[in-house]
Structure 1
Amino acid sequence: MPADHFTLGWLMHSLDKRSFGIIMLLALVAIVPGLSIVAGLLLMIPAFQMIAGKPAPVFPRRIAARSLPTRRLAAVVQRSVPVLRYLEKIIHPRWHAHIEATKPLVGAVGVLLSATLVFVPIPLSNTVPALVIALISLAYLEEDGVLLSIGLLAAAIVLTVAALAVWEMLVGAKWMIDLGH
């Protein structure tokens, strides 16, 4: 492989325990209408791997071995540095969140929130779950227990509202069926 290229597998290996957080940040793509279903399905893969206790995300060999130009990564990193510097003022290790201990919980919450991206067909309903996944992934990346607690509380609220919406939809459907008889 030329020196001006890298592979996704190399990048995930070099990021080690932080690679799950970086991959889960892809939730930001789910904010875009029409992409939430695909993003939700893709986010479930690393979330299930977190639940299973994998040390880092595992990609199919075909994807992991794909060569990518280093200059593209450099351009993304260069544009991201100012944002990351700003975020590091707010997000930093507090209430040390042990990564291995929280990994299954973060993975389970990631699966549930990703399911809302896939199965709740209400326009613009994808924004809040995607932002909560991104918040949790940032907290996970920085080992910020305070922010992780806030993110998990936000996830509980989002999942409760989604469950209530589904329940009300079922009750409404039953009422309409009963009305027809």
Structure 2
Amino acid sequence: MIIAGFASSAVAASSPEDKRKEVLKMRSETLAKLYKVHPNVENEIKKAVGYAAFSNVGINLFFISAAGGSGVAYDNAAHKDIYMKMVSGGIGFGLGVKDFRGIFVFTTAKAFEQFVESGWTADAQADIAAKSGSKGGALEGAITVAPGVSLYQLTETGLALQATIQGTKYYKDDELNDK
């Protein structure tokens, strides 16, 4: 129930067109922030098969963690946006709320297609983040999450202390994609 609430409230706009505009705005703002922090990533993304940007809000409450959000994958060869959602849940010690942006960079067509079509990932996570607006900070940089896939995370706001094993599902947003 908590997870479904995150996924449905990640983009609060009303019509599908408004939701698409919000997701694209989030992508533009997230990429601008990423390029400011890691200028070399812009070239990496241009050379990549594709990339995806997600806005995520997560909560950790003692032994349960949950997160949800929305985003868009971009196929550099086809010049096509694929609107997506994400939902995750996990177990482990945690306390707090974290609002962050995730940018996946895909260097192989297989990795990009797998992400868009099935999008499962599972990870063990140890994280300490403390940030409110421009105050505080979090360790942010690329990690390799699978062969051909790098992930950059940018913390927006929040305070979280967590050590969790979490499964995340990324999937196409049927409402926002052309059928």
TM-score, length-scaled by structure 1: 0.23
Higher relative contact order (CA 8 A, sep 6+): 1
Between Structure 1 and Structure 2, the one with more strand by share is 2
TM-score, length-scaled by structure 2: 0.23
Between Structure 1 and Structure 2, the one with more helix by share is 1
